[in-house]
Amino acid sequence: MANVAVVGAQWGDEGKGKLVDWLSERADVVVRFQGGHNAGHTLVIDGVTYKLSLLPSGIVRPGKLSVIGNGVVVDPWALAAEIDKLASQGVAVSRDNLRIAGNATLILPLHRELDQMREIAAGSARIGTTGRGIGPAYEDKVGRRAIRVNDLADLSTLGPKIGRLLAHHNALRRGLGQPEVKASDLLNQLSEIAPRVLAYSDAVWSLLDDLRREGKRILFEGAQGILLDIDHGTYPYVTSSNTVPGQAAAGSGLGPSSIGYVLGIAKAYTTRVGSGPFPTEQDNEVGEQIGARGREFGTVTGRKRRCGWFDAVLVRQAIKTGGIHGIALTKLDVLDGLKEIKVGVGYRLDGKRIDRFPAAEEAQKRVEPIYESFEGWQGTTAGARSWAKLPAQAIKYVKYLEELIECPVALLSTSPEREDTILMKDPFED
């Protein structure tokens, strides 16, 4: 049996929550390996909607262990609020079903404040972050001044660490005309929240190694999408971590050989939240129609998503940089009834055709999409659970996309309900 990594093959919001929940029934352990509480997952189970941001999707499934790996930046206050919210919905979170890596970096109030202050100061040049402090927390991690989960276990040692952190942050705050943070205030805040986090702290790398040796099935859950990867995404309009499947190893403490199958998630069209290039965007009636049908609003922020046609070039590029074995195609039903569907099959850059998305920011702004038109279908795909229930033209569309992205469609999702899924390849089967 193969361990599976699930990643977004676009700019996030591809429907990973439902697919991870669907796969978690076959897994024993679900691991988050990067990002923070800036990426939301919506799960609909027996008519109940759960909105998760930081906790792995497996947390709502009895008998599953959820793990937050060292590659995640953890806002302890957001974590506590999410746990309390689940408790109000009847989901109990304890050490029996949640562990957090002791070497995971903490997001502090000063990170959120810096994130928001920078975006305001940037004006029209803002990146479009969620303002939750993810980027500044990763900066401190790389700058070797971060406070980590393990540091909360001995508050007497926090003084010098807070001093080193504030030497950096207070200089930035002065430059932005903001009041400095007092060390005593930050220490008091951490003292109050520490018990809520330490209850789940563990040496996650060792725990996962033991579980792997026992033959447990491990599902690695990524946040955002590969096109938001700090290295391989549309830089600088990206997130602050690596979102490619290779991060599942580094962000959990298990080696790359522990990942057997990589499943990429892609919508049957394309969406993006925030700023940045979007070659196939439809800032028109078509985009509005897709957005309305797909209920394209962010789980975490509530921000309206930009919508456009499927971009086969970008998905193919994500498949190659991510080592994706198969694609789970979601929201096919949103395209039901359209007379014409377009697919981006290439770009023109300065008059020349190219079949990849350039890395340079200025070149990204200049690319023009090349479309091929596809006849739509008048039947419905919503709720279909087998190929036989799909309109013939919808099947042709899926097969057409497979050819363009050079990767098989392993799963097809036809509604937010977890059972409305057509399985072609079980990722857990070698």
Tell me the catalytic residues: 13, 41
What is the C-alpha separation between 260 and 281, in angstroms, rounded?
34
> Does residue 286 sit in helix, strand or coil?
helix
Cβ neighbours of residue 220 closer than 8 Å, sequence gap 6 or more:
3, 4, 5, 6, 31, 33, 245, 248, 252, 259
b/e sequence 389-422, b meaning 16+ C-beta within 10 Å: ebbeebeebbebbeebbebebbbbbbbbbbebbb
What is the C-alpha separation between 294 and 272, in angstroms, rounded?
13
Which amino acid is present at 140?
D
Strand positions, DSSP E, 268-339: 270-272, 306-308, 310-311, 326-330
> Does residue 332 sit in helix, strand or coil?
helix
Q: Are strands 41-45 and 48-52 parallel, antiparallel or unpaired?
A: antiparallel
Smallest CA-to-CA distance from 419 within 394, 384, 390 is with: 384
